[in-house]
């Protein structure tokens, strides 16, 4: 009987050790998978910001404008961490301010808070940069997810509306000069 009990104890001990081994393997596998996902995420993050940095330091103005657009797109992604959210707020505040050089031209403000010249400059930049960004395999999906094509279409509509309003102002002015 002594051999049967010791055999049973040995078998149970072996089963417990095997169960512990399975649990450790599963936990370690999950941890490894999580670390691998984080590593891939970090590598993609690094690759995208390296792309932005390379173009931001370019001598070509178009490349710098593309970098500014992509930096804004990257900062508005849902996977931006809390450590970068302060940067997100600062970058939006700086990009939404009109840089007209002269504050006296604010009387021509129309639909948005940007005067016509600044709006046209931004629209032209979007027209120049969006096609190549949308064609890029990495940044095209990001820009589409952020509504880039819709934003460009809305900017085009706003520009047409601005032109119509300017035309109407010119006609009113010509009519008033003709009567006077």
pLDDT of residue 105: 42
Secondary structure element (H or E) that encloses residue 7, with its range = helix 2-56
In this prediction, residue 116 carries a pLDDT of 87
pLDDT of residue 89: 45
Output the CA angle 30-31-35, nearest 5 degrees: 115
* Predicted local distance difference test score (pLDDT) of residue 97: 42
Q: What is the pTM of this model?
A: 0.41
Predicted confidence at residue 74, as pLDDT, reads 80
How many residues are listed for the chain in this entry?
180
Residue 80's pLDDT is: 57
What token pair was written down for 48? 């995208």
Phi-psi region of 101 (alpha: psi -120 to 50; beta: other; left: phi over 0): left
Report mean pLDDT in 10-residue bins for the chain, 180 residues.
80 93 91 83 83 88 87 74 48 43 42 84 91 88 89 91 88 77
Alpha-carbon distance 64 to 129, whole Å?
10
What the block records as the tokens of 109 is 């403000």
Vertex 144 angle, CA 161 and 109, to 5° = 25
């Amino acid at each position: 009987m002594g051999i049967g009990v010791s055999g049973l104890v040995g078998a149970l001990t072996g089963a417990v050790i095997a169960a512990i081994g399975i649990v450790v393997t599963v936990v370690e596998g999950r941890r490894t998978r999580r670390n691998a996902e984080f590593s891939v995420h970090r590598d993609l993050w690094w690759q995208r910001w390296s792309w932005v940095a390379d173009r931001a330091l370019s001598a070509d103005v178009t490349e710098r404008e593309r970098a500014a657009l992509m930096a804004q797109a990257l900062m508005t992604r849902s996977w931006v961490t809390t450590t970068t959210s302060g940067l997100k707020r600062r970058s939006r505040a700086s990009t939404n301010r009109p840089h007209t050089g002269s504050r006296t031209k604010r009387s021509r403000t129309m639909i948005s808070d940007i005067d016509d010249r600044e709006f046209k400059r931004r629209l032209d930049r979007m027209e120049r940069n969006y096609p190549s960004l949308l064609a890029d395999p990495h940044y095209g999906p990001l820009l589409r997810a952020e509504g880039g094509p819709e934003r460009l279409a809305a900017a085009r509509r706003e520009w047409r509306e601005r032109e119509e309003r300017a035309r109407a102002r010119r006609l009113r002015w010509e009519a008033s000069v003709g009567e006077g």
